[in-house]
């Protein structure tokens, strides 16, 4: 049994309290390897931002839970070495069973998500309660979810969004005692968040995605004022990165994300955690593809992973300063 406090990590409670009061959102960046983690920590230290390091169950399978935990512990020390002890949360993204959540808690995670959103309401409540009871006993915070996002949530995929029903949130929060709630208001996972036929075109022919359901977010806020809300599927899919990928041998079709203005608006509301994974994947792939194309003789991984890490850092700094508003909030 490893307690997260001994690793220098924090849970999300105090971070959410301040973010909710001061109208910004904490970045929740997914990572699977050392370069992604270095880029996240460098960006957050340079911008003095707290951060939630997210590990999906896929990441846990890919990199190994023990290695990821030591990487997170290393991140705490690395931030200090860079000159700022920023608050760092190690969070399980989309935990789907009690056993997975328990295992992460026992291995040093400071926060877990139990995603029972695919189950009928009562089953979601029951499973979430069980995780909350165990997690709170160890000082770990818990994120629950109501409503289903379209796209792939780890091994589970849903074809379309099931929006959160605002009339369920009070009951869910009071019965489960979760610390934060993920809701579904039109975002989805991955780089293809909308089909072109769901979008309109501006006068330059650029696809404009539909606006998120801020009416649902407002209805949720009215029912649970000041309660921390989480937005998943919040990548913007920068078209410049899609172009770089496609101009260097990639084949990404109809990749469309959430416009940053909408995410800024969400970050100013009671949304206090915004999840970003796909944008990091795109930036890393764009950098590596372009280096492979222009330097076919290179074969040292540092020659392409190093620049990819720099591009990732720029992306994270941009998100913190221009989208989330978490710069300086340590
Ligand atoms: O919610 C999905 C995250 O982007 C994690 O993706 O399961 O492929 O690691 P993954
Ligand atoms: P994106 O696929 O939009 O980056 O969403 C990531 C996410 O929600 C992780 O839980
Ligand atoms: Zn998610």
147-174 tens-digit pLDDT: 998 765 444 455 667 999 999 999 999 9
Ligand 2 centroid to Cα of residue 177, in Å, is 24
Contacts of residue 271, defined as CB under 8 A and 6 or more positions apart, other chains included, come to 25, 217, 229, 230, 231
CA-to-CA distance for 57 and 94, rounded, in angstroms?
7
Comparing CA positions, the residue from 199, 318, 316, 184 lying closest to residue 256 is 199
Q: What is the residue with the minimal CA distance to atom 6 of ligand 1?
A: 154
pLDDT at 157: 53
Residue pLDDT, tens place only, 55-109: 999 999 999 989 998 999 999 999 999 999 999 999 999 999 999 999 999 999 9
pLDDT tens digit sequence for 19-41 = 999 999 999 999 999 999 999 99
**Residue 212 Cα to ligand 1 middle (Å):** 21
Ligand 2 proximity of 52 Cβ (cutoff 6 Å)? no
Which residues neighbour ligand 3 (ion) by CB within 5 Å? 232
Above pLDDT 70, what percent of the chain?
97
Which pLDDT does position 293 carry in this prediction?
Answer: 97
Tell me if 234 CB under 6 Å of ligand 2: yes
Segment 132-142 mean pLDDT: 98
Residue nearest to atom 9 of ligand 2 (CA): 275
Q: 37 alpha carbon to ligand 3 midpoint, in Å?
A: 18
Q: Is the CB of 158 under 6 A from ligand 1?
A: no
Positive or negative, the Cα torsion across 54, 55, 56, 59?
positive
Contact present, 121 and 112 (Cβ < 8 Å): no
Ligand 1 midpoint to CA 115 (Å)? 13
CB 190 within 8 A of CB 121: no
Among 61, 93, 95, 113, say which to mutate for ligand 1: greatest number of ligand atoms within 8 Å of CB. Answer: 93
| CB-based burial, 103-122: b 16+ in 10 Å, e otherwise | bbbebbbbbbbbbbbeeeee
Express each pLDDT in 120-136 by its tens digit.
Answer: 999 999 999 999 999 99
**CA distances in angstroms from 39 to 150, 281, 285, listed in the order given:** 28, 13, 15
State the chain's mean pLDDT as an integer: 95
Residue 59 Cβ inside 6 Å of ligand 1? The answer reads yes
Mean pLDDT within 245-259: 97
**Taking the CB of residue 160, how many other CB atoms lie within 10 A of it?**
9
Pairing of strands 141-146, 111-114: parallel
The finding on whether 184 has its CB within 6 A of some atom of ligand 2 is no
**Which residues lie below 8 Å from residue 158, measured CB to CB, with a gap of 6+?**
118, 148, 149, 150, 151
**Ligand 2 close to Cβ of residue 30 (< 6 A):** yes
Asked whether 94 lines ligand 1 (CB < 6 A), one says: yes
Question: What whole-number distance in Å separates Cα of residue 14 and Cα of residue 18?
Answer: 6
pLDDT at 234 over 80: yes
Atom of ligand 1 nearest to the CA of 155: 7
**Active-site positions?**
93
Separation of CA 295 and ligand 2 centre (Å): 31
Which atom of ligand 1 is closest in space to residue 59's alpha carbon?
Answer: 9
Q: Which domains are present in the chain? A: 4-319 (3.20.20.70)
């Amino acid at each position: 049994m490893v307690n997260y406090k001994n690793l220098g990590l924090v849970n999300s409670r105090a971070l959410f309290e301040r973010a909710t009061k001061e109208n910004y959102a904490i970045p929740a960046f997914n990572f699977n390897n050392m370069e992604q983690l270095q880029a996240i920590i460098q960006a957050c230290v340079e911008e003095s931002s707290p951060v939630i390091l997210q590990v999906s169950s896929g990441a846990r399978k890919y990199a190994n839970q023990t290695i990821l935990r030591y990487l997170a512990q290393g991140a705490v020390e690395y931030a200090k070495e860079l000159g700022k002890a920023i608050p760092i949360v190690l969070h399980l993204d989309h935990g789907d069973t009690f056993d997975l959540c328990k295992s992460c808690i026992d291995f040093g995670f400071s926060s877990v998500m139990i995603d029972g959103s695919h189950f009928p309401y009562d089953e979601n409540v029951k499973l979430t309660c069980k995780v909350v009871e165990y997690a709170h006993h160890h000082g770990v915070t818990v994120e629950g979810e109501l409503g289903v996002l379209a796209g792939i949530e780890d091994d589970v995929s849903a074809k379309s969004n099931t929006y959160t029903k605002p009339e369920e949130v009070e009951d869910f929060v009071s019965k489960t005692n979760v610390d934060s709630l993920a809701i579904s208001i039109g975002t989805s996972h991955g780089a293809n968040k909308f089909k072109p036929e769901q979008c309109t075109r501006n006068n330059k022919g650029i696809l404009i995605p539909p606006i998120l359901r801020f009416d649902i977010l407002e209805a949720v806020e009215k029912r649970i004022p000041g309660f921390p809300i989480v937005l998943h599927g919040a990548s913007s899919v920068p078209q410049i990165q899609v172009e770089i990928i496609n101009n260097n041998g990639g084949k990404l079709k109809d990749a469309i994300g959430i416009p940053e203005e909408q995410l800024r608006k969400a970050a100013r509301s009671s949304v206090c955690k915004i999840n970003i994974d796909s944008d990091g994947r795109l930036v890393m792939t764009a950098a590596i593809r372009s280096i492979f194309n222009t330097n076919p003789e290179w074969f040292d991984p540092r020659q392409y992973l190093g620049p990819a890490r720099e591009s990732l850092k720029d992306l994270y700094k941009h998100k913190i300063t221009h989208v989330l508003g978490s710069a300086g909030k340590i």
